[in-house]
Amino acid sequence: MKHFNPDEKGYYGQYGGAFIPEMLQANIIELQEHYLTIIKDESFIVEYQQLLKDYVGRPTPLFYSNNLSKQYNAKIYLKREDLNHTGAHKINNTIGQILLAKRLNKKRIIAETGAGQHGVATATTCALLGLECTVFMGAVDIERQKPNVERMKMLGAEVVPALSGSQTLKDATNEAIREWINNPKDTHYVIGSVVGPHPYPDMVAKFQSIISEEIAKQLMEKENTDKPDYVIACVGGGSNAMGAFYHFIDNGHTKLIAVEAAGKGVDTEETAASITLGQKGIIHGSMTYLMQTADGQIIEPYSISAGLDYPGIGPAHAYLSDIGKVTVEAVTDEEAIQAAFHLTKTDGIIPALESAHALAILEKVKFNPSDIVVVNVSGRGDKDMLTYSKYFTHEK
């Protein structure tokens, strides 16, 4: 049993599956029946790999940070997903899914977005491959991620505000699903994380698994081992973490740490720590951990980081955390901000607020000097400059 693969119904243990309205059955079944055949096809692999190399700029560097290594007394490597075209890991998945959509003869792409990174990656890929693109985004996120909204528009996408609920990622996802129900035939819905009904969690995990594939190769060159002692990644829906963990899950050695957003703290009402605080429930088509009230109402999540502001978690992470293959930590807004300023100062890298949550773990774990630690820097911080600049006055 490989722990990163679901069974044929899309279950990771008791999590996952496909809980969808009747109107989406045909689309989902079409995907379930074809995704593995398509993504294992030689001509697909060649086209996908070529675009990752020449368009996205892969492989992304695995950077040994001298300064962090000295400070934390371990060998600290940063996997530089921030250096991908469009500034985050999201494009590994959008290129994969949109190439797949073309092979299924779809003409139009819809997507949801939180921080805007998935929307930008989707709009970018649609521009490149010549498909129509509509992106749903919470009205609150449109406000706090303005530069990304402008980028999507310049790339030719229509950006539709989601005005329900907390007007963030969950609500944008609801709107995208509604739109898909109304246009099932010629439209493909590009989900941006390892969430949603089967086959999305597995499909997105496979597209993002390029991250751990590269880490293993790069460590073999640099450290003569393909087994790091730690891999640390932030989790919103969980796609960059799943990609960074994928090839290490069953090696019997690597400790995997998933970092969720505590917001103002896991003991406050303003949090997005969905594994720490969640209970089993169904969200966006899959059974997983979910922040909910005693009578099953979804609790509105909160995080300073739009990409982590989601009340659920990919079903694979629910499972891997249950069986102890992944350790889950929660990091507050404040700790993430400190970590972002720290990395900027020590290494001249401004990370995305999401990635800063993963970096904050370096303060919390006691490493051995020989430990090889890989932190996945999922994205760059340009989109977060408005938030960061509010803290300039407090930083010395």
Ligand X SMILES: *Cc1c(COP(=O)(O)O)cnc(C)c1O
Q: Tell whether residue 234 is a contact of ligand X (CB under 6 A).
A: yes
DSSP secondary structure code for residue 53 in this structure: I
Interaction mask 334-373, ligand X, x per CB under 6 A:
------------------x-xx------------------
DSSP secondary structure code for residue 197 in this structure: S
CB-nearer residue toward ligand X: 115 or 232: 115
CB-nearer residue toward ligand X: 52 or 261: 261
d(CA 192, CA 254): 26
Q: Where are the alpha helices (DSSP H) in the chain?
A: 25-39, 42-51, 66-72, 90-103, 117-129, 139-144, 146-154, 169-182, 200-208, 210-223, 239-245, 274-277, 315-322, 333-347, 353-359, 385-389
Quick one: which of 117, 168, 209, 254 contacts ligand X (CB under 6 A)?
117
Quick one: which of 31, 110, 115, 142 contacts ligand X (CB under 6 A)?
115
User: Strand, helix or coil at 300?
Assistant: coil
Q: Tell whether residue 193 is a contact of ligand X (CB under 6 A).
A: yes
Name the one range near ligand X by CB under 6 A: 4-12, 112-120, 152-160, 215-223: 112-120
Structure tokens belonging to residue 50: 């070529």
d(CA 99, CA 185): 17
Residue at token pair 């890989």: 374
Question: Active-site residue among 75, 79, 112, 274?
Answer: 112
Angle, in degrees to the nearest 10, between helices 42-51 and 90-103: 140
Question: Active-site residue among 81, 286, 378, 383?
Answer: 378
CB of 93 to ligand X, least distance (A): 9
CB of 155 to ligand X, least distance (A): 16
Active site residue 22: no
CB of 377 to ligand X, least distance (A): 8
Q: Tell whether residue 88 is a contact of ligand X (CB under 6 A).
A: yes
Q: What is the largest CA-CA distance in the chain?
A: 57
Structure tokens belonging to residue 274: 């969905």
- Per CB under 6 A, contacts with ligand X among 14-73 are none
Active site residue 112: yes
Question: Active-site residue among 75, 79, 90, 106?
Answer: 90
Q: Tell whether residue 312 is a contact of ligand X (CB under 6 A).
A: no
Active site residue 334: no
Residue at token pair 């990644």: 233
Quick one: which of 20, 177, 379, 388 contacts ligand X (CB under 6 A)?
379
Q: Tell whether residue 307 is a contact of ligand X (CB under 6 A).
A: yes
Q: Tell whether residue 237 is a contact of ligand X (CB under 6 A).
A: yes
Closest listed residue to residue 113, CA positions, set 169, 167, 152: 169
Cross-strand partners of 260:
330
Element (H, E) at 260: strand 255-263
Quick one: which of 79, 90, 198, 325 contacts ligand X (CB under 6 A)?
90
CB of 369 to ligand X, least distance (A): 29
Quick one: which of 235, 316, 372, 374 contacts ligand X (CB under 6 A)?
235
Name the one range near ligand X by CB under 6 A: 8-16, 153-161, 232-240, 276-284: 232-240
Q: Tell whether residue 91 is a contact of ligand X (CB under 6 A).
A: no
Name the one range near ligand X by CB under 6 A: 144-152, 220-228, 231-239, 386-394: 231-239
Cis bond upstream, residue 315 (ω within 30): no
Structure tokens belonging to residue 57: 């700029």
Measured from the Cβ of residue 94, the count of other Cβ atoms closer than 10 Å reads 29
Give yes or no for a contact between 269 and 260, defined as CB atoms under 8 angstroms apart: no
d(CA 319, CA 290): 13
d(CA 251, CA 229): 11
Quick one: which of 84, 218, 240, 332 contacts ligand X (CB under 6 A)?
240
CB-nearer residue toward ligand X: 17 or 192: 192
- Where do contacts with ligand X occur on this chain (CB under 6 A)? 88, 90, 115, 117-118, 193, 234-241, 307-308, 352, 354-355, 378-379
Catalytic residues: 90, 112, 378
